[in-house]
Amino acid sequence: MHPVDDLRKLREVLGSFATGVTVISCLDAQGEPVGFTANSFSSVSLDPPLVLFSLSKTAQSLSAFLHTSSFAVNVLREDQRALSERFADSSADKWSSVSWETWETGCPILRDALASFECAFRYTVDGGDHVIFVGEVERMDRREGARPLVYFASRYRRLDSDAEG
Site residues (vs ligand FMN, CB under 6 A)? 21, 36-40, 53-56, 59-61, 84, 88-90, 130, 151
**Least CB distance to ligand FMN at residue 35 (A):** 8
According to the 3-state scheme, what is the secondary structure of the chain?
CCCCCCHHHHHHHHCCCCEECEEEEEECCCCCEEEEEECCCEEEEECCEEEEEEEECCCCCHHHHHHCCEEEEEECECCCHHHHHHHCCCCCCCCCCCCEECCCCCCCEECCCCEEEEEEEEEEEEECCEEEEEEEEEEEEECCCCCEEEEECCEEEECCCCCCC
Question: Which residue, 88 or 120, has its beta carbon nearer to ligand FMN?
Answer: 88
**Least CB distance to ligand FMN at residue 47 (A):** 25
Question: Which residue, 57 or 142, has its beta carbon nearer to ligand FMN?
Answer: 57
**Least CB distance to ligand FMN at residue 110 (A):** 15
Question: Which residue, 32 or 47, has its beta carbon nearer to ligand FMN?
Answer: 32
Question: Which residue, 97 or 145, has its beta carbon nearer to ligand FMN?
Answer: 97
